Structure 1
């Protein structure tokens, strides 16, 4: 059985499992969803299976957390992810929050709802002192979500030639 991390009125936040591969492929191959992270685009369900197995399931075991599936309760469909990872990019050496939802779920407060639930979980179950959120400067929607979650702008950083706004939340 898949481990449920937390729930909100509209969402179940849970660990991914291999049977989620088609949904993971759907949101990670959508041009609008990955517009600001084009290197994350998936080209096949096998790519999705590999990310689930080699990254998320591995990080659940080694860290106790990773990106989690965001399941829409009304339909039971995985509509994206939200959660944390320890970012090892040279520009970032910290726990980072990330979220990604299918476009038809944008503008409904779901990213904020999922983010709040994940942050609350981190406050009670993880040993984080702070969480970073790095957002492409052009991704204003994601910056708004971080601000709604209580993150404060810190600085701008260069991620491989792409300027990002860095936000910080102290837990």
Structure 2
């Protein structure tokens, strides 16, 4: 199912998207606040693990495209991490440097919160951000997330956002 925002198309990731996503997820500089993938194969494995979660849970990160020209800008959305389980449903996003500073992360976060609340009816979302990643911290706070605590083993702040469940 594709979700459209004012400027973005959010849709399930296809294996054919992975080479373009690897240009972002494999870029050490772009991914300096999180892990990056050394190989296309590792990136494909990671994306496939999340797509397996989509089939199981009904959500996983989307391929994020520009509505203006169809360019893949990044990857993100709601997920339960199949590689580091136990944190609950998270919001995460990874964008190409060319997309930074344009409000796309805030647009994605708003769409993700709406999806979590309206369709999935989740009680809460979590997110992580490194303290030095001020842009991501601002995106989360703007989306209604509240910083809970610092998680030393992840070197990140844990954020939480309660959702207004529909009855």
Q: 1:56, 1:17 → 2: CA distance?
A: 11
C-alpha distance 105-125 of structure 1, shift in aligned 2 (>3 A): same
- Separation (CA, whole Å) in 2 of partners of 1:159 and 1:84: 22
Alignment CA distance shift 1:159-1:127 (3 Å): farther
Give the match for residue 61 of structure 2. 67
> Equivalences for 1:11-30 in 2 at 5 Å?
11-30=8-27
8 Å CA contact 1:25–1:47 kept in 2: the answer is no
Instruction: Give matches, 1:115-154, under 5 Å.
Output: 115-154=109-148
CA RMSD of aligned residues (A): 1.7
Work out the CA distance in 2 between the residues paired with 1:105 and 1:116: 17
Give the CA deviation at 1:93. Answer: 2.5
- 1:170 and 2:165 equivalent? no
Q: Which residue of 2 aligns with 1:45?
A: 40
Q: TM-score, normalised on structure 2? A: 0.89
Name the structure 2 match of 1:58. Answer: 52
Unaligned runs of 5+ in 1: none
Specify the SS of the correspondent of 1:49: helix
3-state SS, counterpart of residue 93 of structure 1: coil
CA distance in 2, matches of 1:52, 1:100: 13
Task: Give how far 1:87 is off.
Answer: 4.1
Instruction: Write the distance in 2 (CA, Å) between the matches of 1:8 and 1:34.
Output: 24
Q: Which has the higher strand share?
A: 1
Partner of 1:110: 104
